[in-house]
Amino acid sequence: EKTGMQQTVTELIGRFGYWGVFFLIFIENIFPPIPSEVILLFGGALTLSTAMEVPGVVAAATFGSLAGAIALYALGRALGLERLKKLFAGRLGRILHFHPEQVDQAFGWFGRYQNRAVFICRCVPVVRSLISIPAGCNKMGLPLFLLLTALGSAVWNTVLVWLGALLGTAWERALPYLTRYSRIILIVCILALAGYLIWMALGRKRPKE
């Protein structure tokens, strides 16, 4: 049985086609809890029974991803590193057990790997949206940000739309596997970030010879 979210997503795409895909992916980039897997798989499945085609669905999804990424990039650019540090210095930081100096460490990591980070993270659930904020805060060049975002998004979108087209009416069978993939990738990312922050903290405490 479809959840209420799945029902809404499938109805919107069924009614508005490419524009439905664009709008839903745009919203999904700003509010990650909306499942891009459902949007893309169902969009791919519809190419078998409607006038929609796989390249068109991929293009609509990729433009939607770009629009959402630009909005979050602009937010990050408007906030800047100092404002972000102030947010983490208050209640938000206490809730997340995240300190302002750790923001510096995280942004230092992003500064070293920003090109790869933007491209690779576009294929990681939840993180694929949030990566746009540090890109904006770091004032990453907009043309390069858009290029890497478009390429990374196109990879993710193409894989899922083609999978939906291959599965057809059985597209929902792939959802449990994608949910498992999302959880595993998120856990790996969290552990990697935690390991990096611990390594940085131990490095700072290590006495200089």
pLDDT tens digits for range 171-198: 777 666 666 655 555 555 555 555 655 6
pLDDT the model gives residue 158: 92
Mean pLDDT in residue range 16-22: 92
Mind listing the pLDDT tens digit for each residue in 59-115?
999 999 999 999 989 988 888 777 776 766 666 556 545 555 656 656 666 667 777
Name 111's Cβ contacts closer than 8 Å, sequence gap at least 6: 138
pLDDT at residue number 176? 66
Please state the domain count of the chain. 1
The chain-wide mean pLDDT, for the chain, equals 76
Tokens read off for 48: 């078998």
pTM: 0.71
Q: What is the pLDDT of residue 74?
A: 92
d(CA 14, CA 195): 44
17: left (phi over 0), alpha (psi -120 to 50) or beta: left
Query: In which domain, by residue range, is 180 found?
Result: 4-205
- Residue 25 in this model has a pLDDT that exceeds 80: yes
Amino acid code (one letter) for 67: A
